[in-house]
């Protein structure tokens, strides 16, 4: 970790599990949230640091008229071409990790919630976080949420899920679990309990 004295909770979960809703609630309660998806979007927005290399690697067809990376075109490409997926990850992951480490080091909250959708898939995750928090939901509910949010077909949603680690493996790696099969209020109550626990753990001499 960038700072051994800082409590860093790695928040992860499958697509449509409710990671963003949980992260928003942790932030509302005062935690510093560092979200790798948000960093990735910043890097690939108009003027983003990754765009020149994306254009060089993949060509102008993958940059939209707005000047941002064409996310749909890139999604289609990487799902059908493992080499393209590897090339994109090789470009983005070091940039994302460097920016995340910078934000963790500068965090002002009592602890950090480090949102990494593919945390378990990255082999070194235990060296990057102090605890793993999994937001969990039944797979049918994940698909329903993804379809409602993104307008993706069920097959597309399940294809994305198939590229992520199995639900059982994610749960096996968890130190803490939020069961997000219910309402937003139920999720908020679970976050409040965890927040209180993490504040105690992060107190001097406790971490």
Q: What is the pLDDT of residues 155-199, one digit of tens each?
A: 777 877 777 788 889 999 999 999 999 999 999 999 999 999 999
- Residue 181's pLDDT is 93
- Residue 205's pLDDT is 62
User: What's the pTM?
Assistant: 0.86
Residue 97 sits in the same domain as residue 122? no
Residue 147 sits in the same domain as residue 183? yes
Last residue of a domain, which of 61, 84, 108?
108
- Residue 139's pLDDT is 83
Number of domains in the chain: 2
Residue 90 sits in the same domain as residue 188? no
| Domain of 177, in residue numbers | 1-31+111-207
Which of 85-94, 115-124, 148-157, 159-168 has the largest mean confidence?
85-94
Asked if residue 117 has pLDDT above 60, the reply is: yes
Three-class secondary structure assignment of 70-84: CHHHHHHHHHHCHHH
Last residue of a domain, which of 56, 89, 108?
108
Asked if residue 123 has pLDDT above 80, the reply is: no
Residue 103 sits in the same domain as residue 115? no
Q: What is the pLDDT of residues 124-145, one digit of tens each?
A: 777 889 999 999 998 888 888 8
Q: What is the rounded CA–CA span in Å between residue 97 and residue 90?
A: 11
Residue 145's CATH number: 3.40.50.300
Q: What is the rounded CA–CA span in Å between residue 207 and residue 203?
A: 7
């Amino acid at each position: 970790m960038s700072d051994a004295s800082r409590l860093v909770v790695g928040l992860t979960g499958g697509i449509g599990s409710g990671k963003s809703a949980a992260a928003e609630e942790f932030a509302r309660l005062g935690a510093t949230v560092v979200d790798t998806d948000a960093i990735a979007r910043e890097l690939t927005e108009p003027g983003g640091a990754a765009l020149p290399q994306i254009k060089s690697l993949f060509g102008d067809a993958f940059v939209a008229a707005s000047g941002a990376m064409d996310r749909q075109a890139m999604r289609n490409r990487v799902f059908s071409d493992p080499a393209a997926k590897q090339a994109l990850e090789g470009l983005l992951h070091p940039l994302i990790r460097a920016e995340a480490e910078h934000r963790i080091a500068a965090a002002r909250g009592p602890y950090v919630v480090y949102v990494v959708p593919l945390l378990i898939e990255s082999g070194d995750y235990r060296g990057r976080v102090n605890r793993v928090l999994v937001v969990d939901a039944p797979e049918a509910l994940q698909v329903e949420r993804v379809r409602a949010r993104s307008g993706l077909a069920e097959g597309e949603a399940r294809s994305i899920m198939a590229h992520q680690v199995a639900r059982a493996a994610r749960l096996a790696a968890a130190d803490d679990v939020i069961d997000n099969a219910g309402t937003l209020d139920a999720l908020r109550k679970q976050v409040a309990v965890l927040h209180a626990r993490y504040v105690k753990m992060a107190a001097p001499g406790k971490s």
